[in-house]
Amino acid sequence: MRTCLTLSLLALATSAFAQTAEVVDTLFMNDAPGTRRVGHVVGIAATTFKLEVPLSVGPAGATARVAVPRAQVSRIEFAPNEARERLIASPTAASAVALNIEWLRWQAFLAVPKSPAGAIANAYATALLATNDPKSAATALDVFTRVERDGWSDADRQTAKQGRLRAMIATGHAADAVSEAKELAKESDDPTVLIEAKFILADAAFSSLKKLVEDNPRWTEDVLVRPERDRLYNEALDLYLHPYLFLGSETDAAARGLWGAVQVYRFGGDDAEAVEPARDLTRLYARTNSAKLATDYHAKLPEAFKNQDHEKKHRE
């Protein structure tokens, strides 16, 4: 009896949706005719999906919730949502609350193929890291770890792995993150993974450089310390510049690495060199956040540095 009622409601829903332009979720059933059911997937249980459907009878806007056995569903096409896509595309500290609301809604669907849950989770965790708050970083680590373990999408799991390494550093587990990044840099042929691993190693080398100079303020006179300082300096530069030199089409990664190189040069007291990657940033990656930082830096330079152009000089 319940089954008949459910099927009747679904039939009414399909008819009602057919008369509107509303964007809805579509459930593809695994029966012989390949039946499709439409509505809004609003929940998930161990054995069922909860589907909200409009009623073609009763008050305007009336809906009902029905349970569709998961065993009868071959796949789901989730309705697109432009507002959600914008949130996912540009996660910031300011969007962490909005992304948290989306994550709370979708987290139960993390393992369901084609759901946006993994992408939402990664964006939410990224936004948490952007707050630079230790507690938020710990939450980000948990979210990334969960996606890496349970996400349905290989791409989402890979993104989560990279995010987890950043979260490990933010939560005080830098040594473990660096160790794992070194293994990834050796083993992976995936450019995206390689970029993230090298960026983590660049940050680690730069941090070690700053600590070494802080502990040894007279490093220029110490024959034992100076070689290590120079090694860390060059290693940080090489790693930061890797995406720009070899994968320049990866806009955000290349821009982030160029800004890292600017920071290393500035730390070394070499604005004459720092101005070059800063200029490349503003010319080639003008729409990135890193370019805004480079523009501010360039504006404060003495005129002699602003007018400097090593590349033009070499061409001539």
Task: For residue range 165-190, list pLDDT tens digits in order.
Answer: 889 988 888 888 888 888 877 877 77
Tokens representing 293?
A: 């930082």
Give the pair of three-digit tokens for residue 116.
């946006």
Please answer whether residues 111 and 151 qualify as being in contact, where contact means their C-beta atoms are separated by less than 8 angstroms: yes
Give the strands of the sheet with 48-54, arranged side by side. Answer: 63-69, 48-54, 36-44, 25-29, 73-77
State the pLDDT at residue 191: 81
Q: What distance in Å separates the CA atoms of residue 41 and residue 243, rounded to the nearest whole number?
A: 40
In angstroms, how far is CA 244 from the centroid of its own chain? 19
- Rounded distance between C-alpha atoms, residue 80 and residue 283, angstroms: 34
Question: What pLDDT was estimated at residue 34?
Answer: 78
pLDDT at 153: 95
Lowest mean pLDDT of 172-176, 184-188, 224-228, 294-298, name the range: 184-188
Q: Contact, 262 vs 240, CB < 8 A? A: no
Interval 37-45 mean pLDDT = 92
Alpha carbon distance 298, 14 (integer Å): 60
Residues 6+ apart with CB under 8 A from 293: 259
Q: Report the range of poorest mean pLDDT among 184-188, 215-219, 220-224.
A: 184-188
**DSSP conformation class of 52:** E
Q: Which of 24-38, 133-147, 263-277 has the lowest mean pLDDT?
A: 24-38
Supply 198's token pair.
């090298």
Q: What share of the chain is helix, strand, coil (3-state, %, to 5)?
A: 65, 10, 25
Q: What is the DSSP letter of 50?
A: E
Name the band, by pLDDT with cuts 50, 70 and 90, for residue 4. Answer: very low
Reduced to 3 states (helix: H, G, I; strand: E, B; else coil), residue 6 is helix
